[in-house]
Structure formats: structure tokens, C-alpha cells
């Protein structure tokens, strides 16, 4: 046909194509090196299975043993759904709906290519029908329809795992939000061929937000509050089903030097998690639980219904703090857990406190507080002895640290106030020092001092009191300083 | 002759109505919008009917199986009741003594239906049940009353309410008790609205239901409670006998129906 017309520059075209292809190959190669991706194009739907076994499911924070090098197999697993009252926080309980009796539900571990026969059992005492939607499953509703089961019944369905990764599963029975809000979620890990690289410790942690009639900490059995759930105003944001889910006796344990892998999921129902471990850096994050690996990450975002695999080495002994770095959730709603790392200190990595010093910002004006022009303090008239009494208290708070209890000061650093010629020579100068601070070289009782005294944030009465106290102690000249005198100097 | 029939019909109506006074309440019909109704033609008409004031108890059902041996647990046709049917009974004739005044559960739809028919009654339809259940103690339709809705939702969450004694809760506007917070109840057409196991699917025949789900707003708390009931019903098969599922009977009201019944 008109082939020649369409492609008139045929001579140039082929080399160009070749270069393009080369560039493309190079590009994809480097990409796969960066991400460690090697499996996303492979079709596992036809992977043969060899043999069968009953899969072990574990309660959080534990995970079943790795798949290692085993071939794809036929796996049998069972999960019981319960509706039971459990602890949400100290003195607070909640009617949780669970997969396997825990929140989050039992951890499922399998290998890509595995064929799973899954039995779901709805306890006869339960009031509601339930089901399971596994995000790792390809098929109608992730199995939700096939697993829909009335109380006192069980259902078996099967599926083949054709995508590796870490996935959330959850209940998807109407009202879906309520079933998830009551704790019906968990994680299923589908390991790639050959398994994930070995590490020393693996943990299973999941975040969830809860909506209760009573506010955070209000004791007793707290009913679910549908309105708050709708408004996305949780009272609790917790790891592993309760405020104490990962602290106290539930704290995760590891030894310094161990490599740690956390399978982290977010059940929601509403909030995305800004997951962070205080005192560590993730060496690796399998972003969204998929093939892409990010390195050297501080905080990673995990959406509701999403998951991530986090790896790091616990280099030094410390209490690592797991938080949702949307930080009010951590300190006010419970999203805080502990990974306790014990073992030998490594001062090359973390030396701890080396020294403590007193921090004195330069210049006298830095520490001035903004003036509040509207506040009028009532005039207080104090006798000299009252001034001395009050002044002593102020001295012990404001001056004592440097000038010492008996005004002796600290040699070469802080000048003495006891029997001090510099002090006794000029009352107004003393007032100015308190109001505005003092820096530069001065001579007191024949010794030179070159240091900084910051201005003191004291009221006129307080300056008067503390100076009167000082002038009437330790052999000084007994001057009396009144608030009026201070006020006069302040206005200069 | 015609006069006589009318007279007889009238007489029957009166005697029948008075006979129901003790155990059944007359529910005046009306229009209501079911959970799954959307759009303008969503209102459903419910005619007048009678409804048992209380759920059927173990004592009631014990009497029934004593008179109808084919519904005794060892005789029941397996097609009509699963293996949990009356499984907590001491024997064919004896219900657990401590449960006599509790709502009977672990009965299949077939058994519940047979029970009602033997009383000259029937199971209520979903619409009838929902219509009667939207009444609070003071109003025929309390679905806009958020406190009422919250209390229903709360009662659904409580475990083991099937162990409660019937007749202790406050009667609703119609004089009916224990519709919420005790046991789920069989309805005649429980499976006519299928809330599929996949509750988020909105592309098929259940579109109405799911659109309603999509339209749920902050003020439609009643819908959440209703959703739980509809989800429950759609998980059932007629031979299921559940720990948390009982029933009560209904009966038509209205002259022509009374005659048909006769």
C-alpha cells in the first residue's frame, strides 16, 4: 500500500528505534535494581501447587514462620468470628467484633501461587452475620460474597494468591463502616517466591480508630457511637486494639543489633496513619506493602485499608516509641507503643548526654517578654521587713543559682553580692542591672568578671524586694529599694 | 341471604378482634418508606394487621411440638431445619426449664411458619415488621427521633439478649413489646430483599438498597439499625436455626381478609 509514503525516512528510523529500545531497557533495568522489583510482571495464576498443609494463623503481635523456599502449596485455614467485650484502655471496655478473638485479627502468611481453602466460622452467640474481604484476593468482593455467613454457621471458599504483597483484610457486611470500626480487620502477607529476606525479629502491628459514647478514658463499657464515626471524630486511635496494646507488658521486645521487620497495617475505618518510630529510621519501607522499596525513611504514610512493611536494625538499646505522628493521636488518643531494645550501648552511634551547661542567650533584650499594657497591678505598699521577706523568696528562685545562697557567687564566673563594693556603690545601677541585664567586664571587690547577666522578668515590687533583701544581707549597706524607685528607673 | 353473610361477617370480625386483644395488637396500616426505597415511588402501603405483642416463648413452642410431633427435634425433616434446631432442648418434648419465659430461638423459618399457621396466623411480612418496629412508645413513626434510633442501635450491640425474659420492656405505640433488643425475628419474605454478601456492590438488582446506603446521612441513624436487620435477614436460609433468631406471628385485619380466612 502506501507504506513508503507513511515511512519515508525508513533509513533513519531503524537505528532510532534501536537506540530507543536500548534506552528503554537500560531504564527498566536500573529501575528494577532500585526497587527490587522482579515479580510484578509474572503470572502466578498457573503456578503449580505441591502438597498441602494447614496454615498457622497467629494473634498479634506475632507472625507465623516465613515461607522460605517452599513451593506453592494448597493451604487450609480457619478463622472464627467473635463478638466479645475486651479492654480498650485501663477501666474502659468495648464490645469488639473480631477475626480470631483479637484486634487486629489473626495474621495470615502465605506464598504467591498458594491455593487457599478458607473456612470462616461465625460463633452461634454472635448477633450478626459477617464476611471477609481479603485485599489479597482477586475475585468478587475479595471473597466477601462467598464468605457471607449467618451466626452459628460456617462457610468455606477458596482462592489462589496471584499477587505478592502485604494486604489488609476486613469484614464487609452492611453497615461496613460499623463492622470495621468495631475491629474487624487484619493482615494477610503473600510472600514472593523464595520468601522475604530473613531478619531477626518480625512483628505484627495494626492501627485502628474507635468511636465511643464516652470521651477518651471515660470508664466502663463504652458503646459504639455511630455519629462520631460518621463525623470521623475518634476518641481512640490505638495500636493492636487497645491503648495498652503495645505498652507495659505488651511492649515489643528486641535486642540491640537485631534486624526488625514490622508488618504494619491500618484498619481505619477513617484515619490515615503517619507512622513513625521515635528513635529509629526505617532502613527499608516496602511502600504500600508492594514491590517498591524506599530507603532511609522517617515517617511513612499508611492509608486506611492499607499496609507497609518496615525494616530497620535496632542499633542501640532504648525504648523505641511507635506513634502515629499525627501527634495528638499519640499523646491524647492512645496511638503509642513501645519496642523495648535491650543490650550493649554503642557510643559510636549514640553517646547519650555528654555535658549539661547553663544557656545564657546573648544581649539583654532577648529575654524581654511582650508587654501587656492592659494589666494594671494594684499598688502594694510593703514595709522594709516585708520587702526583705518577699525578697528572700525571690532571691532563692531567681538569683541563687549563680550568686549562691549566701551571696558568695562563683569564683571567676559570677560575682559575689556579699559585702560587694560594686553593689553598695550605686543603688540605681543595681536596679538597672536587674531591669536590663549586664554584660562586659566589671570589677567587684578587686576581682574582674566578664560574664552576662540576663534581664530579670520581675515586677517593680519584686525588684524592690529582692534588692532590699540583698542590701540588707551579708554585710551590705542596708539600703531600702522601693517599687517607686524601680518604676522611675524603668521609665528612663 | 346476603344480609346474613354480612351479619355473620360482622360478628366474626368483632369476636375475632376481641379474641386477639390479649395477645395481639392491631396495627393500623399506612405508608412508609422501606430502607431500600429511593425516589418518589418508594413509599410502600401496609394494610391493617394484627401482630403478636410478644415474641413466641419456649413455653409456647413446647406446647406446639407436643401437639405436632413432626416438629419435634428428632422427627423434623432435615430439609426444614438444620442441625441446631431445638438443639438445646432436653428431649423432644421438653424445653430447657430455665428458658420457658424467654423468646424461643433455634427454630427454622419452616417451623416458625408452621407454628403460626397452627394458630390461624402467619409470619409478618418484612414491610409489616418494619412498619410496626418504627414505633416508639409514643409515636407511630419514630425514625426521625435520634435518641430512639441510638437506643435501638445500642440494643443490637448487646450480647446474649436472647436470654432476656419477654414482656419486660416498655410497649410501643401499638402495644407491641420486645421488637428491638431481644432477638432477630423471622419474617414471611425474609429473603425477598437480598442484601448480597458483597454489601458494596451497586451494579445489580439490589441497586435500590445500595443507593440508599450511599444516601445515608448523619440524620439517618435509623438506617444503620435497619441495615443490620436487612443484612441479618439476607444471611439466612429457611432451614437455619440460630441462637439469636426467634419470631412472632401476625394476622390480617380487614373484612375481606377475615372472610377469606373463614
Per-residue HEC secondary structure of chain B comes to: CHHHHHHHHHHHHHHHHHHHCCCEEEECCEEECCCCCCCHHHCEEECCEEEECCCCEHHHHHHHHHHCHHHCCCCCCHHHCCCCCCCCCCCCCCCCHHHCCCECCCCCHHHHHHHHHHCCCECCCHHHHHHHHCCCCCCCCCCCCHHHHHHHHHHHHCCCHHHCCCCCCCCCCCCCCCCCCCCEECCCCCCCCCCCCCCCCCCCCCHHHHHHHHCCCCCCHHHHHHHHHHHHHHCCCCCCCCCCEECCCEEECCHHHHHHHC
CB count within 10 Å of CB B152 equals 24
Confidence at B56, pLDDT banded by 50, 70, 90: very high
- Res. B205: pLDDT tops 60: no
- Tell the residue number behind the cell numbers 533513519, with chain if given: A12
Say how far residue A196 (Cα) sits from the centre of its chain.
26
The answer to whether A86 contacts chain B (CB < 8 Å) is no
Of A397, A407, A383, A409, which Cα lies nearest the Cα of A465? Answer: A383
β-pair partners for A323: A276, A336
- Mean pLDDT across chain A, nearest whole number? 87
Contact B159 A95 (CB under 8 A): yes
Neighbour order of strands in the sheet with A201-210: A236-239, A201-210, A259-268, A306-313, A282-286, A293-297
Confidence at B260, pLDDT banded by 50, 70, 90: very low
| Residue B86: per-residue pLDDT | 94
- Res. B144: pLDDT tops 50: yes
Q: What are the residue boundaries of the structural domains of chain B, listed by start?
A: 2-261
Closest chain A C-alpha to B206 CA, distance in angstroms: 13
Name the residue among B199, B240, B243 with its Cβ closest to that of A176. B199
Dihedral (C-alpha) B255, B258, B260, B262: value to the nearest 10 degrees? -140
The answer to whether A414 contacts chain B (CB < 8 Å) is no
The answer to whether B236 contacts chain A (CB < 8 Å) is yes
- Res. A313: pLDDT tops 90: yes
Closest chain A C-alpha to B143 CA, distance in angstroms: 15
Contact A73, A191 (CB under 8 A): no
The answer to whether B157 contacts chain A (CB < 8 Å) is yes
- Tell the residue number behind the cell numbers 439490589, with chain if given: B206
- Judge whether A171 is annotated as a binding position: yes
Rounded Cα distance, A328 and A210, in Å: 15
The whole-model pTM stands at 0.70
The answer to whether the A52-191 and A201-287+302-342 domains have the same CATH topology is: yes
pLDDT, average across residues A105-115 = 97
- Judge whether A153 is annotated as a binding position: no
Higher per-residue pLDDT: B147 or A280: A280
Top-level class of domain A201-287+302-342? mainly beta
Rounded Cα distance, B16 and B8, in Å: 12
Contact A84, A98 (CB under 8 A): yes
- Res. B184: pLDDT tops 90: yes
Higher per-residue pLDDT: A83 or A356: A83
**The CATH number fitting domain A52-191, selected from 3.40.50.300, 3.40.50.1820, 2.60.40.420, 3.40.140.10:** 2.60.40.420
Give the range among A11-20, A85-94, A279-288 with minimum mean pLDDT: A11-20
Under CATH, which number does the domain B2-261 receive?
3.90.1580
Top-level class of domain A384-490? mainly alpha
> For B62-108, what is each residue's pLDDT tens digit?
999 999 999 999 999 999 999 999 999 999 999 999 999 999 999 99
Rounded Cα distance, A111 and A65, in Å: 12
Of A157, A170, A176, which Cα lies nearest the Cα of A103? Answer: A170
Contact A84 B159 (CB under 8 A): yes
Closest chain A C-alpha to B231 CA, distance in angstroms: 6
| Residue B16: per-residue pLDDT | 46
Give the range among A337-351, A358-372, A379-393, B121-135 with minimum mean pLDDT: A358-372
The answer to whether B42 contacts chain A (CB < 8 Å) is no
Q: What are the residue boundaries of the structural domains of chain A, listed by start?
A: 52-191, 201-287+302-342, 384-490
Rounded Cα distance, B259 and A167, in Å: 62
Rounded Cα distance, A120 and B235, in Å: 14
Strand B245-246, strand B184-185: pairing: parallel
Rounded Cα distance, A281 and A260, in Å: 11
Q: Around A126, how many Cα atoms within 13 Å sit in the side-chain half-sphere? A: 26
Q: What proportion of chain A, given as a percentage, has pLDDT over 70?
A: 87
- Res. A166: pLDDT tops 50: yes
| Residue B193: per-residue pLDDT | 62
Contact B199 A173 (CB under 8 A): yes
The answer to whether A129 contacts chain B (CB < 8 Å) is yes
| Residue B22: per-residue pLDDT | 75
Rounded Cα distance, B237 and A448, in Å: 98
Query: Which residues are CB-contacts of B195 (< 8 A; sequence separation ≥ 6)?
Result: A174, B206, B209, B227, B230, B231, B233, B234
pLDDT, average across residues A363-369 = 52
DSSP string, A397-409: HHTHHHH-TTS--
| Residue B202: per-residue pLDDT | 43
β-pair partners for A273: A302
Closest chain A C-alpha to B132 CA, distance in angstroms: 21
- Judge whether A403 is annotated as a binding position: no
Name the residue among A127, A223, A231 with its Cβ closest to that of B244. A127
Confidence at A2, pLDDT banded by 50, 70, 90: very low
Amino acid at each position: 500500500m502506501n507504506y513508503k509514503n507513511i515511512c519515508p525516512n525508513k533509513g533513519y528510523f531503524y537505528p532510532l528505534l534501536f537506540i530507543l529500545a536500548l534506552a528503554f531497557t537500560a531504564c527498566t533495568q536500573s529501575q528494577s535494581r532500585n526497587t527490587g522489583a522482579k515479580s510484578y510482571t509474572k503470572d502466578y495464576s498457573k503456578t503449580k501447587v505441591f502438597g498441602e498443609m494447614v496454615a498457622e494463623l497467629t494473634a498479634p503481635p506475632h507472625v507465623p514462620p516465613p515461607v522460605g523456599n517452599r513451593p506453592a502449596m494448597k493451604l487450609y485455614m480457619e478463622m472464627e468470628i467473635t463478638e466479645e467485650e475486651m479492654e480498650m484502655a485501663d477501666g474502659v471496655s468495648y464490645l469488639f467484633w473480631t477475626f480470631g478473638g483479637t484486634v487486629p485479627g489473626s495474621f495470615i502468611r502465605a506464598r504467591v501461587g498458594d491455593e487457599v481453602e478458607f473456612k470462616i466460622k461465625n460463633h452461634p452467640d454472635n448477633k450478626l452475620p459477617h464476611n471477609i474481604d481479603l485485599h489479597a484476593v482477586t475475585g468478587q468482593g475479595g471473597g466477601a460474597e462467598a464468605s457471607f455467613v449467618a451466626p452459628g454457621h460456617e462457610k468455606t471458599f477458596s482462592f489462589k494468591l496471584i499477587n505478592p504483597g502485604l494486604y489488609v483484610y476486613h469484614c464487609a457486611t452492611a453497615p461496613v463502616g460499623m463492622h470495621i470500626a468495631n475491629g474487624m480487620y487484619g493482615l494477610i502477607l503473600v510472600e514472593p517466591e523464595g520468601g522475604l529476606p530473613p531478619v531477626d525479629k518480625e512483628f505484627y502491628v495494626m492501627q485502628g480508630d474507635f468511636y465511643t459514647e464516652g470521651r477518651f478514658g471515660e470508664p466502663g463499657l463504652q458503646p459504639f457511637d455511630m455519629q462520631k464515626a460518621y463525623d470521623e471524630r475518634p476518641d481512640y486511635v490505638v495500636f493492636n486494639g487497645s491503648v495498652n496494646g503495645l505498652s507495659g507488658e505488651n511492649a515489643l521486645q528486641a535486642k540491640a543489633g537485631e534486624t526488625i521487620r514490622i508488618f504494619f497495617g491500618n484498619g481505619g475505618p477513617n484515619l490515615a496513619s503517619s507512622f513513625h518510630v521515635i528513635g529509629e529510621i526505617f532502613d527499608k519501607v516496602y511502600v504500600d506493602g508492594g514491590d517498591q522499596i524506599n530507603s532511609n525513611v522517617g515517617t511513612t504514610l499508611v492509608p486506611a485499608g492499607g499496609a507497609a512493611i518496615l525494616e530497620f536494625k535496632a542499633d542501640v538499646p532504648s525504648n523505641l516509641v511507635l506513634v502515629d505522628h499525627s501527634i495528638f493521636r499519640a499523646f491524647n488518643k492512645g496511638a503509642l507503643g513501645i519496642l523495648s531494645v535491650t543490650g550493649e550501648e554503642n557510643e559510636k552511634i549514640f553517646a547519650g548526654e555528654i555535658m549539661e551547661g547553663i544557656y545564657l542567650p546573648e544581649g539583654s533584650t532577648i529575654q524581654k517578654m511582650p508587654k501587656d499594657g492592659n494589666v494594671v497591678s494594684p499598688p502594694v505598699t510593703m514595709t522594709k521587713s516585708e520587702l526583705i521577706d518577699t525578697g528572700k523568696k525571690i532571691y532563692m528562685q531567681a538569683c541563687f543559682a549563680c550568686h549562691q545562697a549566701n551571696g558568695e557567687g562563683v569564683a571567676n564566673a559570677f560575682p559575689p553580692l556579699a559585702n560587694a563594693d560594686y553593689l553598695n556603690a550605686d543603688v540605681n545601677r543595681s536596679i538597672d542591672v536587674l531591669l536590663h541585664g549586664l554584660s562586659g567586664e566589671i570589677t567587684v571587690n578587686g576581682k574582674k568578671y566578664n560574664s552576662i547577666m540576663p534581664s530579670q522578668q520581675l515586677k517593680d515590687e519584686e525588684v524592690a524586694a529582692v534588692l532590699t533583701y540583698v542590701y540588707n544581707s551579708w554585710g551590705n549597706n542596708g539600703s531600702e529599694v522601693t517599687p517607686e524607685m524601680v518604676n522611675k528607673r524603668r521609665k528612663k | 341471604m346476603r344480609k346474613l353473610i354480612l351479619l355473620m361477617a360482622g360478628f366474626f370480625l368483632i369476636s375475632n378482634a376481641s379474641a386477639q386483644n390479649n395477645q395481639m395488637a392491631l396495627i393500623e396500616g399506612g405508608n412508609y418508606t422501606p430502607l431500600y426505597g429511593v425516589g418518589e415511588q418508594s413509599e410502600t402501603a401496609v394494610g391493617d394487621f394484627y401482630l403478636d405483642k410478644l415474641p413466641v416463648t419456649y413455653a409456647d413452642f413446647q406446647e406446639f411440638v407436643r401437639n405436632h410431633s413432626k416438629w419435634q427435634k428428632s422427627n423434623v425433616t432435615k430439609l426444614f431445619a438444620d442441625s441446631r434446631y431445638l438443639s438445646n432442648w432436653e428431649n423432644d418434648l421438653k424445653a430447657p426449664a430455665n428458658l420457658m419465659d424467654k423468646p424461643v430461638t433455634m427454630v427454622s423459618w419452616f417451623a416458625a411458619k408452621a407454628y403460626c399457621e397452627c394458630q390461624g396466623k402467619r409470619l409478618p411480612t418484612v414491610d409489616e415488621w418494619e412498619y410496626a418496629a418504627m414505633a416508639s412508645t409514643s409515636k407511630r413513626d419514630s425514625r426521625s427521633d435520634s435518641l430512639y434510633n441510638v437506643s435501638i442501635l445500642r440494643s443490637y450491640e448487646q450480647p446474649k439478649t436472647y436470654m432476656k425474659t419477654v414482656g419486660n420492656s416498655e410497649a410501643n405505640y401499638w402495644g407491641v413489646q420486645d421488637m428491638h433488643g431481644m432477638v432477630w425475628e423471622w419474617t414471611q419474605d425474609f429473603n425477598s430483599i437480598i442484601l448480597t454478601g458483597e454489601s458494596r456492590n451497586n451494579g445489580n438488582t439490589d441497586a435500590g438498597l445500595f443507593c440508599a446506603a450511599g444516601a445515608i446521612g448523619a440524620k439517618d441513624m435509623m438506617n444503620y439499625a435497619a441495615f443490620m436487620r436487612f443484612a441479618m435477614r439476607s444471611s439466612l436460609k429457611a432451614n437455619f436455626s440460630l441462637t439469636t433468631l426467634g419470631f412472632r406471628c401476625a394476622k390480617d385485619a380487614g373484612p375481606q381478609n377475615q372472610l377469606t380466612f373463614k
